[in-house]
């Protein structure tokens, strides 16, 4: 197991370094950064002063090495638009996005896995059809429309939950439902398909023939094997929720890191964009690494190779 973890950790570090170089390269792919800072009408002297101040006149690899070294120590540069430390700027916003993402993936797993198991245990039944219907509806409904409908019903009509802000846990209820419901269909379908395949296996029939209780067969023997691809999918969905929550954060005025990403793109704030890409990618790689380790613990056969 230790060898498997070290291999996966080495691969994760290589991927993180590759992503960091790509995110740093965005600074130069978007054009001359000195012109972007000084302005299109800036003189040659102004552009030269910007190049000297930020070190843009140095070789790109040297700049990348300095930027990566600073990023490792927590210094992600200074925002061009907000004129403050990018680390402080993101730290204020990231807590909101992390809270929303963790709540959303928890909501999705609590809904999708039990429904997927129940649907697989009772194929073509009413609960199976309900699960498939919920899955189809979840894929068909746009997140922004679903969020607006929930605001109209629970905030305007019933006045049960706030429509915007992030001051209390109640402010995260509606965004959690919207973002979590988007991930529910894929997790539920994968759980159902995995459980149906496992339940038809010989060892499950043997366990039932021995007289084991249905609950023990379903959750101790069947679900342990069927859950392996679900763990990987949940890690991918969690990474998506952190980086792709812009729409939900905009609708509910949460102003987390996702909304900050949109602001930095709209205002050409490249240092903030670089840092957000690096942070979101790192979280994505971390979740994938943890999913691989958990899957290897659940199924020792995955440790080989």
Please give the share of the chain, as a percent, with pLDDT higher than 70: 87
Banded model confidence at residue 38, pLDDT cuts 50, 70, 90: low
pLDDT digits over 260-292, tens only?
A: 888 887 777 778 888 888 888 888 888 888 887
User: Are both 56 and 130 inside the same structural domain?
Assistant: no
Helices (H) and strands (E) in the chain, counts: 15, 0
pLDDT value, residue 226:
77
Q: Tens of pLDDT along 235-268?
A: 878 877 776 677 888 888 888 888 888 888 777 7
What pLDDT was estimated at residue 152?
A: 92
**Which structural domain range is residue 68 located in?**
2-72
Dig out the tokens for 86 from the structure.
């990018």
Is there a contact between 120 and 199 (Cβ–Cβ < 8 Å)? Answer: yes
Q: Are 164 and 18 in a shared domain? A: no
Could you tell me which residues are beta bridge partners of residue 85? 78
pLDDT digits (tens, 9 = 90+) for 58-93: 777 887 888 888 888 888 888 877 878 888 888 878
Same domain (yes/no): 7, 138: no
In this structure, the answer to whether residues 283 and 227 fall within a common structural domain is yes
**What is the per-residue pLDDT for 77?**
81
110: domain CATH number is: 1.10.3720.10
204 and 299 assigned to the same domain: yes
197-234 residue pLDDT tens: 887 777 777 777 777 776 667 766 677 777 777 887 88
* Domain count across the chain: 2
Residue 78 included in any domain = no
Q: What is the pLDDT of residues 110-124, one digit of tens each?
A: 998 889 888 888 888
Residues with Cβ within 8 Å of residue 204, at least 6 apart in sequence? 198, 217, 221, 222
């Amino acid at each position: 197991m230790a060898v498997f973890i070290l291999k996966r950790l080495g691969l994760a570090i290589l991927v993180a370094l590759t992503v960091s170089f790509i995110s740093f390269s965005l600074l130069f792919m978007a054009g001359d950064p000195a012109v972007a800072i000084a302005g299109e009408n800036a003189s040659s002297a102004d552009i030269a002063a910007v190049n000297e101040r930020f070190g843009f006149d140095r070789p790109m690899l040297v700049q990348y090495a300095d930027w990566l070294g600073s990023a490792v120590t927590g210094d992600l540069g200074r925002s061009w638009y907000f004129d403050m430390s990018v680390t402080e700027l993101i730290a204020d916003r990231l807590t909101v996005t992390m809270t929303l993402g963790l709540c959303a993936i928890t909501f999705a797993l609590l809904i999708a896995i039990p429904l997927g198991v129940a649907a697989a245990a009772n194929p073509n039944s009413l609960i199976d059809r309900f699960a498939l219907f919920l899955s189809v509806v979840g894929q068909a409904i746009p997140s922004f429309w679903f969020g607006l409908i929930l605001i109209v019903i629970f905030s305007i009509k019933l006045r049960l939950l706030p429509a915007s802000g992030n001051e209390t846990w109640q402010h995260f209820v509606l965004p959690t439902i919207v973002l979590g419901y988007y991930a529910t269909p894929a997790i539920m379908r994968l759980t159902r398909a995995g459980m149906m395949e496992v339940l038809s296996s010989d060892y499950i029939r043997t366990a039932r023939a021995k007289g084991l209780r249905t609950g023990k067969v379903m959750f101790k023997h069947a679900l342990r094997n069927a859950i392996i691809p679900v763990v990987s999918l949940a890690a991918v969905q969690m990474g998506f929720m952190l980086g792709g929550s812009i729409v939900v954060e905009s609708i509910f005025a949460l102003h987390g890191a996702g909304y900050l990403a949109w602001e930095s793109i709209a205002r050409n704030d490249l240092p903030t964009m670089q840092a957000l890409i690096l942070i979101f990618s790192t979280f994505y790689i971390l979740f994938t690494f943890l999913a691989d380790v958990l899957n290897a613990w659940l199924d020792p056969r995955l440790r080989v190779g």
